[in-house]
Amino acid sequence: QVQLVESGGDLVQPGGSLRLSCVVSGTDFRVLPLGWYRQPPGQSREPVATMSGFSKDAIYASSVLGRFSISRDNDKKTMYLQMNSLKPDDTAVYYCNGGSSVLGSPGRYWGQGTQVTVSS
């Protein structure tokens, strides 16, 4: 059974930074494409970034390009999302997704989500 567990969400001031983590179990982490999605209040879920398995090629949504960085540690079976220069518009529940590296076309596996709030 594939499980994804996010952590790291918090309240942060505009301009601040935060790092989210997603621990994966129940599958071969090295080959699993992964991604981050988010759902702002009152809006639909939207893609943030994805990363392939072996090649670790990354794709970013235009709204986060240059501010966010996705990475993965195969030894720790963990994916990360480093978020810098945070804006109030980044406020959302952030979800870890597994099974697809196609931005906007998520895989079948989801985490439970972690809340990120950007506010002064």
- Give the tens place of pLDDT for each residue, 31-46: 999 999 999 999 999 9
Q: What is the mean pLDDT of the chain?
A: 96
**Is the predicted pLDDT of residue 55 greater than 90, yes or no?**
no
Q: What is the largest CA-CA distance in the chain?
A: 41
What does residue 38 show for φ and ψ, rounded to 5 degrees?
-145, 155
Comparison of pLDDT for 53 and 75, the residue scoring more = 75
The pLDDT confidence band at residue 53, using thresholds 50, 70 and 90, is confident
Average pLDDT in the 7-18 region? 98
pLDDT value of position 56: 80
CA distances (Å), 51 to each of 37, 43, 58, 89, 106, in order? Answer: 12, 24, 4, 23, 12
